[in-house]
Amino acid sequence: MKKLKVGLIGGGSWGTTVASLVARNTDISMWARSEDTVKEINKKHTNKKYLPGAVLPKNLVAHHDLESVVAGADVLVMGVPSNSFREVLKSLAPFLRPWVPVVSLTKGLERGTDLRMTEIVEAELPGHPVGVLTGPNLAREIMAGQAAASVISMDDEIIVKELQKVFNSGVFRVYTNNDVIGCELGGVLKNIIAIAVGMGIGLGAGDNTRSALITRGLAEVTRLGVALGGRAETFSGLTGMGDMLATCISSQSRNHHVGVELGKGRSIDEIIEAMVMVAEGVKSAPTVIKLADKYDIEMPIAHDVHEVIAGRLSAEQAFYGLLKRRVGAEIDPD
């Protein structure tokens, strides 16, 4: 059987990691916006800005022009931040052959439209099968050879089984799930809860508090995810609870880092300015609260994170405000 040619768009930590995993199975080329990054990957087989200390496969080739990556691709993987996702899709559309599957790695929502990344693909590239690769995946651990699991989600069961073979690699295990909405939203919504958990840690809270925030945060995420069309059981799996745990407890998580620094009293602008990579939870928070209001979903943790990011509350005010909230039943009756 002919090997599939994969084109990956994005030269950040997760995009580079996925490209490295795919390189073990088939032909892969990737696009990076930075010419310096492209040169480093091709000549030194490293990407020190995003993955310090990692050595990349020699058969992973990078390009600076989109056509070189897209034109020959049998599968297209999108690993760019949500704020540039649509712009990059429009730029590559003239080079993409019909019916090529598109897989998103991006865990964010588009500001202004409230759309998920797969919905943007459907709008900009009609006719292309679209899905997501998502789960509790910390790039540096995977590049270090540590075991991890992820989920490839797409409506078409035949295509998703072929894509599973593309991404599954050694101790990186890839499962399938046809709940695209639930899988995609799990990756988006948990970022905001991770900021809340980080704020608690920055304020000196202990493991009991962290556990409570994660558990109640998962309840919030599930309520909104189901209202938006996802399945409740998806949020108890790898793309829901699994991804939330990794993002909430790991110091490698960008959203966790943002929360910790907010808890220490730093401003959001100061924190973001010092970061190399994007924390999607900061950008998604206003859209998530907008959706919660639209569907009348109670999300007190997410709401207070949004208030802190917007500068209307301090992390300390938000944290102690949550503790004073009225408590009710843990599980709503049917």
| Length in residues, the chain | 334
Report whether 136 contacts 243 (CB < 8 A).
yes
Q: For residue 180, give the amino acid letter.
A: V
Report whether 281 contacts 258 (CB < 8 A).
yes
Catalytic site includes residue 324: no
Distance CA 284, CA 294 (A): 15
Task: Please give the DSSP secondary-structure letter assigned to residue 76.
Answer: E
Helix (H, G, I), strand (E, B) or coil at 315: helix
- Count CB atoms within 10 A of the CB of residue 323: 9
- Count CB atoms within 10 A of the CB of residue 112: 8
Place of tokens 């609260």: 289
Classify residue 260 as left (phi > 0), alpha (psi -120 to 50) or beta. Answer: alpha
Report whether 85 contacts 123 (CB < 8 A).
no
- Looking at 161, 190, 283, 324, which residue is catalytic? 190
Tokens encoding 36: 């310096």
Distance CA 174, CA 21 (A): 11
Distance CA 40, CA 166 (A): 25
Residues annotated catalytic, as ranges: 190
